[in-house]
Amino acid sequence: MLEGLSDGTAPRVTAVSIVAELRPNPFRPVGTTAIDKRPVAGRVAVGDLGLAGDTQCDRESHGGPYQALYAYADEDAAWWAGELGREIPPGLFAENLRTTGLDVNGAEIGERWRIGDGPGAVEVEVTSCRIPCRTFAEKLGEPHWVRRFGDRGLPGAYLRVLRAGELGAGDPVAVVHRPGHGVTVADVGARKDPELMARLLAAADAQGLDLNPRMRQATERAAARV
């Protein structure tokens, strides 16, 4: 069942972005970054590690199957555009998918989306939130960017690919499963409520949610403050 925002917008993908060129990255041991994402036309194949033609330079911190895709909402990009007084085109935040009509930050950890229709539709699972880093700050060139982005509570969602296929701009997005624990992408980004983090861990154990191991460790530390 499609679920839109309160304004009635039907959820869909508005842009698909992959790396345009690798850049030097002095902040990571691998020495390069694939943060320079730009939109591509047509349909793009999707596998366990994300979009065909994309690159993950640092799979430990910003990649791997638990972070195969990164989604950001047009509505949240528009807020930042007003705040910063500049355009936030698709790919600027290094997102692979730009969406509209979908509450990306209100998605529960473990929530599943179907993207597209028919036998080639892709199914993904929300695994974690974006944690801003120095590479992101350098790209944006905005003062105190890591703190500003983190404090705003619009981190966007990392996705794991459950069913490979292909997708493109204009594809519908349907929420096909919601775990019901109520802990959202934004909640995990804030990690300020130990009881929420404890609830997430309990739900993961009870429902068999496959949490990103790095995020699970951070969540366990936060939950320990209960």
For residue 188, which of 199, 177, 180 has the smallest C-alpha distance? 199
pLDDT at 20: 81
Contacts of 47 (CB under 8 A, 6+ apart): 68, 161, 164
User: Cβ(161)–Cβ(48) under 8 Å?
Assistant: yes
pLDDT at 190: 78
pLDDT at 184: 93
Phi and psi based region of residue 85 (left: phi greater than 0; alpha: psi -120 to 50; beta: remaining): left
pLDDT at 48: 94
Please list, residue by residue across 33-62, b when 16 or more beta carbons sit within 10 angstroms of its beta carbon and e when fewer do.
bbbbbeebeebbebeebbbeebbbbbeebb
pLDDT at 21: 79
* Count of C-beta atoms within a 10 Å radius of residue 112: 20
Q: How confident is the model over 22-35, as pLDDT tens digits?
A: 777 666 665 677 78
User: Cβ(98)–Cβ(74) under 8 Å?
Assistant: yes
Q: How confident is the model over 37-55, as pLDDT tens digits?
A: 999 999 999 999 999 988 7
Domain segments of the chain as ranges: 12-188
Q: What is the pLDDT along the chain (226 residues), one digit of tens a residue?
A: 445 565 677 999 999 999 887 777 666 665 677 788 999 999 999 999 999 988 775 656 667 899 999 999 999 999 999 999 999 999 999 999 999 999 999 999 999 999 999 999 999 999 999 988 888 998 999 999 999 999 999 999 999 999 999 999 999 999 999 999 999 999 988 777 788 888 888 888 888 888 888 778 878 887 777 6
User: Cβ(190)–Cβ(215) under 8 Å?
Assistant: no
| Rounded Cα distance, 107 and 116, in Å | 18
| CATH class assigned to 12-188 | mainly beta
